[in-house]
Structure 1
Amino acid sequence: MSDRMQWAPGAGTALATPPDLAADPLVSSVTELAVGTLVPAAEETAQEGVPRSHLNALARCGAYGALGHTPDPGSGLTTRQVVREVNELLSAADPSTWFVHTQHFGLVKGLQGATGPEAAALRERWSADLASGTRRGTAGFAFLRHARPPVTAEPTADGWRLRGRVPWMTGWGLSDVVYLGALAPDDRVLFAAVDCGPDGDPGLVPAGAAELWAMNGTRTVAVEVRDVLVPPSAVVCVHPRAEWARAYDLENANAHPAVFGHVRAAADFLLRSAPAAGAAYEELGLRVAQDAARLRTEAYALRDELPPQERVEDRLALRAAVLELGVRAATACVAATGGRAISYGNTAGRLAREAQFHLIQAQTSGLRSEMARLLLGGPDTR
């Protein structure tokens, strides 16, 4: 391992990449990219926006094909472990680039699970290019959990007509295809692959968005959906909305790897700050990493060992706990920095804003309730 890679996110703490994972070719390539390219530019990226060159570099190192990555059989690793580590590393190094990159996998997962009459043709059209990063995806569907989803699908003789407004679409201008959701009649939800690149569907029109005080570098905009015609060949799936919402809630009861990545970055910052801020911050950084590592072990074990519908309350408690730890760790980064932290371009301030972002990213009603319980000092059920 190079000297530079020894300083990968979490190095020297309980959150360090285990040696077996560090040796995996994909993890090694992503680590090299994260440390050598993403970290040095992270503050500029947060303010100016994710450059296409970052995504090109991720494509070159194989990160777009992470879900299909097969670890060396002799390593004892699973694809799931590698994917988690990639997400933790990218989130720790450059959350803006991580968030643009992670949008890609909604369509990848959708195609993997597609079972309709056009499923094979859809996979033939998209899967290879998506896995290589030759074409890149984004997503617009979380709004389907709203009482009145703002995008609807009307059946036509030739497929479906989509109308409405996607409140948030990340990576606009950097993506080629959007995994777009819409509310169909009879309370079903439709998911389709819609071209959104330079020569994409003219019915997708960026409507702008207010400047974001967190994750503003993710090129996130609102998008008008103006009579977008979706042929059957572009439909990935149609499900009862209640069935989809239950699966969405169960998936997002789990702690997200990106939050552990954020805590890795905060712990690193505290350790770097200790010489100037005081020895207590070194102790704090190591303790933050240790607490996060314990939560991570518990959270990942639940996900790996049990069906998603089991111990949901425990999963939510663990997700809330690491979110709250991330907020406290980022607050400590601000305290260690002092007045400079309130300036845009300062890492401590960025970490504090990102901690708040993680509170609402993929938020569910169950998580909101669990966060309130935790913040009000309820009994620790872990």
Structure 2
Amino acid sequence: MLDVQSVSKGDGTMLPGAEVVEAVRALAARELPPLVNTIDVDGYYPEAQMRAFGRLGAYAHHLPGMSPNVDLMTAINTMAAAGEHCLSTSFCMWCQDALGWYIYASDNQHLRTSVGPQIATGAALGGTALSNPMKSLFGIEPMRLKGRRGDGGYVVKGLLPYVSNLGADHYFGAIFEVEDGGSTRNVMAVIPCNAEGVSLADNAKFTALDGTRTFAVQMRDVVVPDAWVLADPVDPFIKRIRAGFILLQAGMAFGLIRDCLRLIQQTKGPLGHVNKYLDVQPEPIAEQLEAMEVEVARLAATPFEDDLGYWRAVIEARLAAGDASVAAAHAAMLHCGARGYVAGAAAQRRLREAYFVAIVTPATKQLRKMLADMAH
């Protein structure tokens, strides 16, 4: 049993963000290092740690109405603290943060008072399921879920190939396309994994991030009542949540890059005499990380801003995070050399994990497409 303090002080108020970050950092440093190779090699899902981070307040500070301020940086920094050890855990934390973000940014009082507090405290866990819709909304692939109006809600069917942080008692956000009088619109809802007609299939083994409970989700005429609907139609809601959705992903990059710097520093004693000839040294990586942290903090202060220049800056920040993650992990691999290339070594795992930061939705290529589309 993990020994963690409560998300609240005892009087119902949340712990300050800085205290939450330090508590998560301490717990992650104690719990994750012994598990990280089991997570990486065997696909172990760190569920107990995920729930413990929630009890500490890791998933609550960024939620509109849950905390006095919409504090994305506490969520980002707790994610980074876990990501210094394990990107699978950090990514699952992002999935959890994103699901809470959907619920509390919506006007659905039923979800905000029922499922919402459970997501905020880690009592319930869940995923985002927005990979396909995020691609569809930017003209990359068709919407995979289709819905029709039923009695008091919708009936939805379709297949989502990859949805993470799921389990039998978990939840996920989903967007489905509805035909209405010859035209179509998109609707967003929260779906319980145990809803009738929902099935999860573990079809793939990944190069990294295999401990994230990533399933193919099949929906066969799933009844989605109006009480589960976040937005109908979804377009204005997507504009409201998109910046937070993307900025929260920075936590994965920051934690991974910090650990890559640690790996490089560890080689200075035994290998510094030859590593000094490598093109990439730790100082520029550290400077870039600091600059990215400052820029993300600036953008995270106003996540509901609708200015086009702000949105462009969010996309650019996310693109930089993916590029910097791959570059830092590549540098760490070269600095570690053969000792980083053996099975179980941190450097080769970090390199595999870094590619995930660059390919998870919105991937590097989608971000570049989005910037190109904005130029026209």
Q: Indicate the TM-score class for this superposition, using the shorter chain for normalisation.
A: 0.7 to 0.9
Confirm whether residue 85 of structure 1 aligns to residue 85 of structure 2.
no
The equivalent residue for 1:67 is 62
* Deviation at residue 97 of structure 1 after TM alignment: 1.2
Rate the CA distance shift 1:217–1:314 in 2: closer, same or farther, 3 A: same
The equivalent residue for 2:159 is 165
Rate the CA distance shift 1:113–1:209 in 2: closer, same or farther, 3 A: same
Instruction: Say if 2:175 and 2:188, in contact at 8 Å, map to a contact too.
Output: yes
Q: What is the correspondence of 1:176-325 to structure 2 with a 5 Å cutoff?
A: 176-185=170-179, 186-196=183-193, 200-241=194-235, 243=236, 256-278=250-272, 284-304=281-301, 307-308=305-306, 309-325=308-324
Alignment coverage as a number of residue pairs: 342
- AA of the residue aligned to 1:188: R
Confirm whether residue 140 of structure 1 aligns to residue 137 of structure 2.
no
Secondary structure of 2:119's match? Answer: helix
Provide the C-alpha distance between the structure 2 equivalents of 1:69 and 1:245, rounded to a whole number of angstroms.
15
Provide the C-alpha distance between the structure 1 equivalents of 2:63 and 2:370, rounded to a whole number of angstroms.
34
Instruction: Say if 1:159 and 1:232, in contact at 8 Å, map to a contact too.
Output: yes
Rate the CA distance shift 1:299–1:81 in 2: closer, same or farther, 3 A: closer
Identity across the alignment (%): 21
The equivalent residue for 1:336 is 335
Rate the CA distance shift 1:60–1:299 in 2: closer, same or farther, 3 A: closer
Instruction: Say if 1:162 and 1:229, in contact at 8 Å, map to a contact too.
Output: yes
**Of residues 113, 119, 128 in structure 2, which corresponds to 1:130?**
119
* Deviation at residue 319 of structure 1 after TM alignment: 3.3
The equivalent residue for 1:18 is none
Instruction: Say if 2:46 and 2:211, in contact at 8 Å, map to a contact too.
Output: no
**Of residues 39, 48, 51 in structure 1, which corresponds to 2:46?**
51
Secondary structure of 1:239's match? Answer: coil
- AA of the residue aligned to 1:66: H
**Of residues 84, 89, 103 in structure 2, which corresponds to 1:97?**
89
- AA of the residue aligned to 1:274: K
Rate the CA distance shift 1:164–1:340 in 2: closer, same or farther, 3 A: farther
Provide the C-alpha distance between the structure 2 equivalents of 1:253 and 1:57, rounded to a whole number of angstroms.
24
Higher helix share: 1
Confirm whether residue 347 of structure 1 aligns to residue 342 of structure 2.
no
The equivalent residue for 1:327 is 326
Instruction: Say if 1:317 and 1:370, in contact at 8 Å, map to a contact too.
Output: no
Q: Deviations over 1:157-189 (max 9, x none)?
A: 231111000111112327522222212224322
* Deviation at residue 101 of structure 1 after TM alignment: 2.2
Instruction: Say if 2:207 and 2:352, in contact at 8 Å, map to a contact too.
Output: yes
* Deviation at residue 249 of structure 1 after TM alignment: 6.0
**TM-score relative to the length of structure 1:** 0.78
Secondary structure of 2:186's match? Answer: strand
* Deviation at residue 369 of structure 1 after TM alignment: 4.5
Tell me the C-alpha RMSD between the 2 structures.
3.3
Provide the C-alpha distance between the structure 2 equivalents of 1:371 and 1:136, rounded to a whole number of angstroms.
33
**Of residues 16, 30, 47 in structure 2, which corresponds to 1:36?**
30
Rate the CA distance shift 1:104–1:317 in 2: closer, same or farther, 3 A: closer
